[in-house]
Amino acid sequence: MADQLVINESHWTRGGAYSTETTGDRIVVTFDVRELGKDVARAIRDAIAEQIKAIKAVASPATLKQRQVARKALARGAAWAVKRYGNQPPGETDRMFNDSGELADHIGVE
């Protein structure tokens, strides 16, 4: 693999054509625990979890309604809700991807 990334583009306009060439260093990212070591892999996991928890975007009205339905089902002990949510009830927040905290709290590193 070359150390430089090169992108050549040609552009046509009414006044003629021109070309551009962009070069840059490649960015290589590995998440392989054997290469990084567990501490680095855990740090990456923690950073991703923090970013998920920091999402401020509000979930759609349909999603918020489903969270209410799921919360009531979990309170009743409905099997599907218990399987999906366990001990963490949904609907604790109106933010996307943060209804029960399961996504951010269960990112696996092996």
The residue ranges of every structural domain in the chain are 4-105
User: Residue 109: its pLDDT value, please?
Assistant: 75
Convert the pLDDT of each residue in 35-89 to its tens digit: 777 888 888 889 999 999 999 999 899 988 988 898 899 899 999 888 888 877 8
- Model pTM? 0.55
CA distances from 5 to 9, 10, 11, 25, 31 (A): 13, 17, 20, 6, 21
**Percent of the chain whose pLDDT exceeds 70:** 92
Residues 10-24 have a mean pLDDT of 77
Backbone phi, then psi, for 13, in 5-degree steps? -130, 175
Q: Identify whether the C-beta of residue 82 lies closer than 8 Å to the C-beta of residue 73.
A: no
